[in-house]
Structure 1
């Protein structure tokens, strides 16, 4: 199998802080790898090494078959990068931003303008093409930022938490754009703290914590690692919730958590469902919601790390600090 992105034993230190501690990654061509992890887990550091913005202190990495250190120029010709925050020039119009990127990439002016018009149409920004980017909504800026990363028609695209701060509608719109890129055969590495985002988009997922890969697989494979399904029971009458909790505790052997008026508990034997139904029927308790489902990625992440991505330690500016030169590189090499 040919890999568009491959890394072995990546290490990166900032003084005494170890941002990456022997990370291995492999992304086949045309697939999307979702990288999950809390703040400070090493996600952004890994992206910057793969995008040639940082040199690793150990290990090797290649993109499109080119070494990210020895053949950095060739890597840059293949990739696009969208960081955590939109970095378009707010004083320029949408079309001016994209034409500028095209010119930085060495495109003739006419070709740059044609590519800008094509991308503005694709990202539903044509009507705003002549407006300054500072007048754009957050979702529009993120779409323009992603369009800028695609000016050079990259074969590999790095998306570093691209939907941070977006409202649900804008996030869904950006997901649609990413799906379109995947349909075009672009290889994507997506870092995110939104587990639903990885569930929706990723072919494969790796979980980072404290600079290491602690789990990997497809969404279904990761969900299966908990070895449990989730039973949810919501009574019709709110004052029956205590009875539901008692029944579930007796049948499952574990006290359920309360979540929005329903009892929620992991179970390993699906036979508990009919047993709970019988007990509730005997007690005259009517359930408006009764389900046995797979674990969510949130529950998987909680099980393997002990916390949710948003609850992780702050990054201490190790990953979040982007100096002016690095920002310029991100857009120039996109």
Structure 2
């Protein structure tokens, strides 16, 4: 007995011919109904649903993580700010602003980073994001005052879970992101660059994972993401050697996409905008669906990622941008 392919059992009005390979053909007048039915079947697995739930964190009380307690502790360490500028073209500029300490993250800045991520989660017109540091440097990582005060293993684990939660939500943003590395990106600053989709460097800038020299390992998800970017062998060399990655070395191993022409703060931001715009030109709903589709592959199994791609297609197929492109009858193979 020939078995119907999974997902087609409820299609009653389409006339099928079942072939030996399990293929399906239907009458032309029912193809639209078939497509509509496919978009409704089957329900997404629980893990996929959770992934697309805005605000989902990796850790909660079942992992021994109490977010409110961590926030109270971080609030004690003031200094600096994380600023967000949202432009009309759908590109946001996220600036780490603590120049007196090379834009090191104070406790308050860690809290503000989470607040800005939540704001970006709700920015429906957003398409792209540039992450940068004030005064021509990126970030030297965590403020040592907070590190010294949070000296117990329990404090370290709690801070680790807080920042992993924040940066995982950052990675899942439906925005194409780029880290603009001016000056130095050290420790946690280097980890933050790995949370972006792309990295650009100025000629004199440097990325360095200094964790080994501090007697620790990356704890904001940086090691995991670094392996995704440059592979396990290169990542092990970079981390265990605490290597100084200047712009040429970083470009050679695939850590960054390009070295910018200018090192001037204003000019390199302009270059970064122009570089990012080649990927964000188009309707927000299409750019955001593309980013979600690619991001899902990092966390879902192959079958679930395919289902996510299908569900995202249902949000743009037949939409304004799709219908407008069809009406223009443009040839894309020129």
Q: TM-score category by the smaller chain?
A: under 0.3
TM-score, normalising length: structure 2: 0.25
